[in-house]
Amino acid sequence: MNPHEVKLPSETEDLITFYIIVNHRLNNIWLEYTDFVESLNILPKTLLIFPIIFAELDFYEVLLERIKQKLPTETVREIHNEFFFSDW
């Protein structure tokens, strides 16, 4: 799927929710990967793993950037302050 073909919500509140979900997914991809690598006793076959991981990361990064462009800068800053730097 192309991240430019994903239909974005038109309402600000829905965009904020979508932004949080996509950002959370990006963080989880990294967590899943590091948990996987740390649990291995041998070196992973990075030639097989990296293309998959980075393709998924790229998809979500592009999608996140598209959402950010539709939100005011102050709103994005507030989202990060409230959700990504708190103890929730």
Tell me the C-alpha distance between 52 and 44, whole Å.
13
Q: Which residues contact 15 (CB under 8 A, 6 or more apart)?
A: 8, 9, 67, 70, 71
* Per-residue confidence (pLDDT) for residue 8, from 0 to 100: 97
Domain count for the chain, please give it.
1
Is 22 inside a domain boundary?
yes
Side chain identity at 36, as an amino acid letter? F
Is 3 inside a domain boundary?
no
Chain segment 9-18, per-residue pLDDT in tens: 999 999 999 9
Is 88 inside a domain boundary?
no
Q: What is the pTM of this model?
A: 0.80
Chain segment 28-71, per-residue pLDDT in tens: 998 988 888 788 788 767 777 788 888 999 999 999 999 999 99
Is 6 inside a domain boundary?
no
Q: Tell me the percentage of the chain whose pLDDT exceeds 90.
A: 58
Is 4 inside a domain boundary?
no
pLDDT at 86 over 70: no
Is 1 inside a domain boundary?
no
Which residues form the domain of 48?
12-83
